[in-house]
Chains A and B, each alone.
Chain A
Amino acid sequence: METSKDAKKIRVVICSGTTCYLMGASELFGLEKALGEPLASRITIEGSPCMNLCKGGEYGKAPFVKVNDALISTATVHKVIEEIRRQASL
């Protein structure tokens, strides 16, 4: 085995700092359900403490989500799903 099953999965990190949470990150935890199969089993979802992206505004506005290395600002369930789809089809 070259890679474990999890390593192939798309890693979704939802910032759960106070700012992101207030600006809608709490809504993003419904992502898995909205995504549905077969994609839902190809991702892992985790919450992260403040990733310090909200200060200064250079990365855009909260809430922030990382889909592997891609950073999404003003993240919505829709935007995150689009990025997951894009990466899944690569």
Chain B
Amino acid sequence: MLYNNNATHIRRELLVKLASLAFQGTLKEKIDRVPLQMIPKGSPSIRCCIHHDRAVIKYRLMAMLGFSVERETDELRLLSSYAEEALERTEVEDPVLTVIDEACSACVQSHYFVTNACRGCVARPCVLNCPKKAIQMINGQARIDPSLCVNCGLCQKVCPYHAIVKVPVPCEEACPVGAISKDSQGKEHIDFSTCIYCGKCMSECPFGAIVERSQMLDVIRALQSGKPVVALVAPAIVGQFPGDYPQLVNALRRLGFQRVYEVAEGADTTIQREAEELVERVHRGEPFMTTSCCPAYTRCAEIHLPELKPYISTTKSPMLYTAEKAKQEVGEGVLVFIGPCVAKKEEALKSRLVDFVLNTEELGALLVAKEIDIPHCEPETLIETPSAGARSFPLVGKVSQAVAEKVQEIQVRPFVVDGIDRQNIKVLRQAAKTKPDGNLVEVMACQGGCVAGPVTISKPNLAAKKIEDWIRKSTVQKSAREGQEATQEANQEANKEANREKVPVGLGKH
């Protein structure tokens, strides 16, 4: 649901409030009042009444404080008590998602429904084509008997008036691996043993019932602790905020981050290693290799596509390479990854290398709470300049392109699987069986790449354009600085061009 909506507004407003209270040191005293401030007496209710709305706000805050809503044992326990616990914890834990049962509307099981647009036509293809004879004409309109219907959707396809609609359960429909389902009360539950943390259920639920457990408070505490705190900024973040990336770096420094690393630096290592690995594998006679930088994909393969596992690159993700470098350079510092991704939170937890993860909205909330306006920030001089290929990792097709451009020994034929959904899981399963139409398979869980991640502020097309503009601008600056190396670079460019012409890009789109 990549458009403006109320659920998003409420979440962002709450994040800002929470961040402000935490920075002011008044979290414990004031947090219990937030649900009342958000929904004051007399305000129109969204759900049945304002009390229900307030209860949902309370649970949202509980998740924002880092807790699993499912684990609530005492309904009377106040937010201030949760805040107290959160302010003392030293570690964060998984799972990184939680379902607010009070917010889940227990949507009616996914079904087909005949609307009033039905004209009761003479042809009646719905009645004639239904394999289960589940459709009857009642009062001049078709009606589906739910006890007979098997949800095949044929009636919808054949209706000349488009009068039959599918009423889905948005979260279940969005989940590519069937990890979310109803309990006996009709409320949704996530099976965390099969969830791949792609975040699609969270983005699609119109009631905002599925939420992340935030680590924002832990980051604020780290920033206030006096310990060196380091930001690892995903390349997708460049497209998410107003202002230029060097201004965002300054904004992060004003927040208290001692150093800011571009995760694109690590992406350069990923490109190099993945290129070497691909050549090695192809020489060994393997038919193909898949990328490994998307943690939702690698987890998906781990659990749901074991046949694909031997083909996944063992190269680490850009986040991990950047984290290793940062750890070496700052020692005992606190490492905070910032990105638009849910699965990275899980990857960070498992890595025991990255301490916390902030998503785009949470970083936005910290900046707003501290009244730091990025367009007013001075641009910082960047220490490192990652390659254009590394900076374009969040754009679909660009990871395999960057790797292909690095390889000279063999012909690289990228095959891009743009987004993990049920259809593309079939494509991947097939790829493991028969050879795919390429020897380098790039898989991104989010259709469009990380710029279309589950927690983004900017529209994906605008974010992508911003990233491309930034790459162009920074490359011009870089080559102006390194004028003497220009000839060498031109040679490399010519090489890249040569390899680019060779590669047909097969988009695994549907």
- Decide: A17 near B12, CB < 8 A? Known: A50-B373, A50-B375: no
Q: Quick check: is B374 within 8 A (CB to CB) of the other chain?
A: yes
Interface size on B, residues (CB 8 A): 25
Segment from B46-54, B344-352, B359-367, B489-497 that makes contact with A = B359-367
By beta carbon, the residue of chain B nearest A16 is B242
Of all chain A residues, the one with the shortest Cβ separation from B5 is A24
User: Which of A5-13, A25-33, A38-46, A81-89 is the interface stretch?
Assistant: A25-33
A21 with B462: in contact, given A26-B457, A47-B242 (CB under 8 Å)? no
Closest B residue to A23 using CB positions: B12
Known A-B contacts A16-B242, A16-B375, A27-B4; A21 and B459 likewise in contact (beta carbons under 8 Å)? no
The residues in B between 1 and 24 inclusive whose CB is less than 8 angstroms from any CB of A are 3-4, 8-9, 12-13, 16
> In the complex, how many residue pairs between chain A and chain B have their CB atoms under 8 Å apart?
60
Output the least CB separation between A35 and chain B (Å). 16
Q: Is B509 an interface residue (CB 8 A)?
A: no
Question: Within 8 Å CB of A70, what residues of B?
Answer: none
Which residues of chain B are within 8 angstroms of A50 by Cβ–Cβ distance? 373, 375-376
B375–A22 touching, CB < 8 Å: no
From B3, B251, B365, A22 is in contact (CB under 8 Å) with: B365
Complex alpha-carbon distance, A19 and B4, angstroms: 15
Docked-complex contact A17 and B373, CB < 8 angstroms: yes
Residues of B within 8 A of A18 (CB): 241-242, 251, 364, 367-368, 372-375
- A20's nearest neighbour on chain B, judged by CB, is B242
For A24, give the chain B residue with the smallest CB separation: B4
B392 contacts chain A at the CB level, 8 A cutoff = no
Interface of B is mostly: helix
On whether the beta carbons of B365 and A49 are closer than 8 Å, the reply is no
**Contact with A76, one of B4, B367, B375 (Cβ below 8 angstroms):** B4
- Shortest distance in angstroms between A45's beta carbon and chain B's nearest beta carbon? 13
Chain B residues with Cβ below 8 Å from A76 are: 4
Contacts of A23 in B (CB 8 A): 9, 12-13
Does A29 contact B374, Cβ atoms closer than 8 Å?
A: no
Q: Across the interface, which residues of B come within 8 angstroms of A22, CB to CB?
A: 12, 16, 361, 364-365, 367-368, 457
CB nearest to A27 among chain B residues: B4
- With a cutoff of 8 Å between Cβ atoms, the chain A residues found around residue B13 in the complex are 23
Known contacts A16-B375, A50-B375; is-contact A21 B4 (Cβ 8 Å):
no
Residue of A17, A19, A22, A49 ringed by the most chain B CB atoms within 10 A: A22
CB of B291 within 8 A of chain A?
A: no
- Is B364 within 8 A of A30, CB to CB? no
Q: Which residues of B contact A25 (CB under 8 A)?
A: 242
Contacts of B3 in A (CB 8 A): 27
CB distance from A57 to the nearest CB of B (A): 11
Complex Cα spacing A18 to B13, Å:
13
Look across to chain A and name the residue whose beta carbon is closest to the beta carbon of B365: A22
Nearest chain A CB to B282 CB, angstrom units? 42
How distant is the Cα of A55 from the Cα of B20 in the complex, in angstroms?
A: 13
Q: Which of B455-510 contact A (CB under 8 A)?
A: 457-459, 462
In the assembled complex, the Cα of A17 lies from the Cα of B376 at a distance in Å of 8
A-B contact pairs, 11 of them (CB 8 A): A16-B242, A16-B375, A17-B373, A18-B367, A21-B364, A21-B457, A22-B12, A26-B457, A26-B458, A49-B376, A77-B4
3 nearest A-B residue pairs (beta carbon): A22-B364, A49-B375, A16-B242
- Which residues of A does B touch, CB under 8 Å? 16-19, 21-27, 29-30, 47, 49-50, 55, 76-77
